[in-house]
Every structure is written in structure tokens, then in C-alpha cells.
Structure 1
Amino acid sequence: MFHDHDIDAVLEIVKEAARLDILPRFRSPDLGDVLEKKSSIDLVTDADLLSERRMTEAFRARWPHALVVGEEACETNPALMDALKDADLAFVIDPVDGTFNFQAGLPTFGTNLAVVVRGETVAGMIHEAVLGDTLIAAKGAGAQMLRANGHRSSIAVASPVPVSSTVGTISINDIGYEQRRRIAGNLAKTQMAFAYNCSAYEYWMAATGKVHFIGHHKLMPWDHLAGVLIHIEAGGFTARFDGTPYLPGHTTGGILSAPDRDSWQEILQEIVLA
């Protein structure tokens, strides 16, 4: 079983991993190796591996029957992904989202954590290890920013504006050349395009109203489940490119987050599909 008050315990587990395994290795190359997984921009560090292991052990100690789906664990055991949509309780972890930035010494990375119950995301958080702030949401209860000093405040997405006045991004890292060129050209219709190479920071910016839209083609659950719930609970609209809801277990179909359904449709047509 997972209850609302358990969110505080989950947050403490995430913060402990950041404090003990992630921050000590940030800008400290002597404390950990950096390895390539599939390419020079798809990396894993000791901070990823050790923090995921610590969180996994802590979740299993408190919830022995829970499924833990970590990005690094799925590299060696892809069957974890298949079990996610049917699990009674699952924790989905990206310990260091934005590893390329982390290993380059850029403080634009975060920890994504989603709680999934029987195929539904019921809680999510994005923890920013360097500043110690966290975005946190529970399904149906809104989204908040919890500062390192304990101050808590509600967050909200940006107000809708015409495409020509928007700031946003569509990740084009995982698509073919012609499609990349087309979408990159379409982003010129906006007021400004940005890119952090970090889903955690992109969802942070969208959910707090700093940018209007974000979109991705590749749908790995550790990249999106927490951020999507936070964005929706902050008042935004998120769906796959075909208009269907994004659910645990989905890995294809693309995803777009915008302030509301109408602006989502306009951005889809003008930026993603045009």
C-alpha cells in the first residue's frame, strides 16, 4: 500500500541519495568513472549507479513487494519495463537525469521519481540536488515547489499565448535527419527555442511557467512519468502526439506538454507536424 503521507518518506530517500552519492561526485572527477552506454552523449556515471542502488534498497526495505524500475537497472534487466504497467506498486527512478550535463560540470541535472499504482502515476517529484529544491505532486492534489529551506508554494504553468510568442523546445535527439531538420526549422516560428538536454529541467521550466511547451519523441518512463504528473497538476495539458494520455508502459508515440488543450493542438500542428 502507498498513502499520501508516504510521499515525505520517498522524498527523504531521494534527498539522501543526492546528498551521499550524487553531490560529492559533481565536479569531482576523481570520485567516479564516466562510461558510454550507446554513444558519446548517452552516458552513465558512478553517481547514477550508486544513487540508484541506494534508492532501490531503501524502497525495497520499506515496501518489500514493490517493483523498482531504475534507468540503469533496465540496462541489464529490460523485463522490468514490461512489468511496470501491471505492478500493484512501482517506483520509477532516473537518479541523474541529464548525465551529460552532470559529467560536464553543469548544474542542470535532477533526480526524477514517480510512484505508480496499478498502471497510474499517483505521485511524482523532481529533485534539484545542487540547490536542494524539489517539485512535488500527488494526483488530484496539485503541484508544489518545496525549497531547501522548507518553504512550500504552489506552482502553475504559463498562460496560453500565440505560437509566435511562445518559448519552448522539441527534443530532436532521437529522430532521423530530415525530421530533425523540419522540426528545428519550425521552432523558428516561436519567440525562442531552448534546450537543456535534461527532461527534469525541461519539465521544471514548463511546470513553473517559465516556458510554454516541451516535447519529446522518445518515451522512457524514468524521463517522463514524474514530470508529466507535475505538469498536469500544475494546470497544464500533456498528451501523446495522437492525443491519447501518456501512461506507464508507453514508450512510443511522442509526447507534448503545453498550457492547455487548445495551445497543445496549435503547437502540435505548427511545430511537430508542419
Structure 2
Amino acid sequence: MTEEFLSGTTGDPWESASLAQVEEAVRKAAAVEIMPRFRQLAAHEIVEKNGPHDLVTVADRSAEEHLTASLTTLLPGSVVVGEEAVHADPAVYDALQGDAPVWIVDPVDGTRQFVHGDPGFCTLIALARHGELLASWTYAPALDEMAVAVRGHGARVNGTPIRSGSPAPGADLEVATSHPDFTTPAQKEALLSLRTDGIHPRPCGSAGLEYLAVARGELDGTAFSWENAWDHAAGLLLVTEAGGAHLTLSGEPFRITGGNALPFTAARDEATARRIRSLLLSPQAD
């Protein structure tokens, strides 16, 4: 059922009605539930979940409810693993291990930016089954950018194909890294190893938009220390389909079902991913 959903009747995923319907559902959720609240939030509509760097708003919750209804209607028998639903009931996350197609939803990725009136936020949707990513949508409504990736069929932004390319030989690497609040002491030490010659680490913003920057070749890589699928699934497929790569500390690709050796990296190409991983491993070798 899932493959038929992706292929539509034409056999070309980029021409299929089903993919266009998902894009329309994402755009509508943003238009109805997110953008009317952008720069219009009242104080009582913003809540701290796990500290000042982990916020949720009425827009997050309303958009996830909207997307849950529309996406499961588009693909009968599918289920949703959404950030806010998992926060309310952690058992929801177990659906990633099940047989049903799963929509992985982050209604507002970059909630802190959204709350502060910064346009650097997005909605992330990925479709997976048996732990394998099949398609993803990264939509930045305030920037009017829609990135779509389909397994084996490449990545596009607003309909135009993108490729990550490789850094110029000998060039310093710009790497977006986890916020220190979301790291263990060992992970923090690993991330500090990126403060070395030839590497320019910086704090990440919206994870989804950082992945988009990697897929476009505007950012060389990421180094993230948390593994919530809603933050990473859409972007990892986008980077992969644009020609990039991702590696955990164990040397294996990141698994959306969890159990990854962290931190992990996504990068413009395999060589860059290996270089970042080797640096992240260096504290453990001491």
C-alpha cells in the first residue's frame, strides 16, 4: 500500500497525485494553524516543556492535530508519531517499530525561533515503514520554501533539484552542533572536539533547516546528540537524496527507530561525514 501511495498511477513519484496531496496538506496546516499565530502569540499560548530551550505553543499542538487527521486520511491504515503526541504519551513512539506506515511529524521545528518572531522554523513530515524512510517534506512557510525528497528519486526545493556537492579541497568546514542543554557530559566533550583547526562549529537553529542547508551545500555538516525521529527523519532523507551521508559514532547510518551511538553527523558527502565522525570519536580514544 505504501509503495502504491508513493508511486501514484503514473509511476513517477514527482508526478503522482498522492505526493502533491501531502504537500497540499502540509501547506494547509501551516496556513490555518501556524502562520496566523506567527508574531501573534500571547504569553499563555507558550509553555516550557523541559526548560527555556524546549518550548511548545498552541500552534505546535493545533498543527499536529490538523496534520494527524489529514495525513491518515490520505493513507488509510497509517499512523502518526508526532512530537506533541509522544510528549503526552511516550508509548506512541513504539509505532516506529510496527508494521503500519508511519507519518513522523514535527509540526513546528524551531519553536524557539517561531516564538521570537524569527522566520527560521519549519514543518517536518516523513513517511516511513519498518524503519525505512520513504519520503519527506520540509516546509518553511515564512520563507516560502518546500523541500521534498523521495527515496531513490532525489531531492527538490520548490520543484528544483538540489545536490549537496562536496566542500572545496582544504576548505574549513562549517558544522552546526547541538545546544549544550541537550547533551550528556560525554557528548559535550565529543562536540568540543570540533573546536579545532579547519572546523567552524556553531549552535544549530531549526534542525530541519540545518539539514536543508546541508542538502543544498550551504552547510558542510551537523553534529547532533539527540535522536528524536521527528527532528531528524525528514532531513536525513533530504540530505541522502541530495548526495550526502550520515554516520553515528559506531560508523553506521542513523536509525530512526533509535539505539544510535551519539553524537552523529549528517554531511555533504561521505568523506566529510567520516571526517566529522573521527573528530567526535577522538575524546574516547584519549
Q: Same fold (TM over 0.5)?
A: yes
Q: Which amino acid aligns with 2:108?
A: V
1:165 pairs with 2:172: yes
- Structure with more relative contact order (C-alpha pairs < 8 Å, separation 6 or more): 1
**1:175–1:103 Cα change, 3 Å:** same
| Structure 2 gap segments, 5+ residues each | 8-15
On the 8 A contact 2:247/2:277 being kept in 1, the answer is: no
Measured in 2, the distance between the counterparts of 1:180 and 1:161 equals 28
Q: Which amino acid aligns with 1:3?
A: L
Alignment map for 1:3-22 (pairs within 5 Å): 3-4=6-7, 5=16, 6-22=18-34
**1:182–1:118 Cα change, 3 Å:** closer
Q: SS of the counterpart of 2:153?
A: coil
Q: Which amino acid aligns with 2:50?
A: K
**1:250–1:182 Cα change, 3 Å:** closer
Alignment map for 1:218-233 (pairs within 5 Å): 218-233=226-241
Aligned to 1:144: 156
On the 8 A contact 2:193/2:279 being kept in 1, the answer is: no
Measured in 2, the distance between the counterparts of 1:123 and 1:235 equals 15
Query: What is the TM-score when the length of structure 1 is the normalising length?
Result: 0.91
Q: SS of the counterpart of 1:29?
A: coil
Measured in 2, the distance between the counterparts of 1:27 and 1:272 equals 41
Measured in 2, the distance between the counterparts of 1:272 and 1:197 equals 24
Alignment map for 1:109-188 (pairs within 5 Å): 109-146=121-158, 152-161=159-168, 165-173=172-180, 174-177=182-185, 179-180=187-188, 183-184=191-192, 186-188=194-196
Q: SS of the counterpart of 1:232?
A: helix
Shift of 1:234: 0.1
Q: Aligned-residue CA RMSD in angstroms?
A: 2.0
The number of residue pairs the alignment matches comes to 269
Aligned to 1:57: 69
On the 8 A contact 1:109/1:198 being kept in 2, the answer is: yes
Shift of 1:112: 0.7
Q: SS of the counterpart of 1:243?
A: coil
Q: SS of the counterpart of 1:39?
A: coil
Measured in 2, the distance between the counterparts of 1:60 and 1:223 equals 20
**1:253–1:120 Cα change, 3 Å:** same
Aligned to 1:29: 41
Measured in 2, the distance between the counterparts of 1:141 and 1:164 equals 30
Q: Which amino acid aligns with 2:279?
A: E
On the 8 A contact 2:177/2:204 being kept in 1, the answer is: no
On the 8 A contact 1:203/1:231 being kept in 2, the answer is: yes
Alignment map for 1:89-104 (pairs within 5 Å): 89-104=101-116
Aligned to 1:68: 80
Q: SS of the counterpart of 2:163?
A: coil
* Moved segments of 4+, more than 6 Å: none
**1:272–1:14 Cα change, 3 Å:** farther
1:81 pairs with 2:90: no
Aligned to 2:275: 266
On the 8 A contact 1:123/1:136 being kept in 2, the answer is: yes
Shift of 1:126: 0.6
Measured in 1, the distance between the counterparts of 2:22 and 2:215 equals 21
On the 8 A contact 1:169/1:195 being kept in 2, the answer is: yes
**1:251–1:56 Cα change, 3 Å:** farther
Superimposed CA distance per residue, residues 129-166 of structure 1 (whole angstroms, 9 cap, x where no aligned partner)? 102211110000010111xxxxx211111413467611
Greater CA deviation, 191-200 or 60-69? 191-200
Q: Which amino acid aligns with 1:224?
A: H
Superimposed CA distance per residue, residues 105-147 of structure 1 (whole angstroms, 9 cap, x where no aligned partner)? 111110110001232110011100102211110000010111x
Aligned to 2:50: 38
Q: Identity over the aligned pairs, expressed in percent?
A: 29
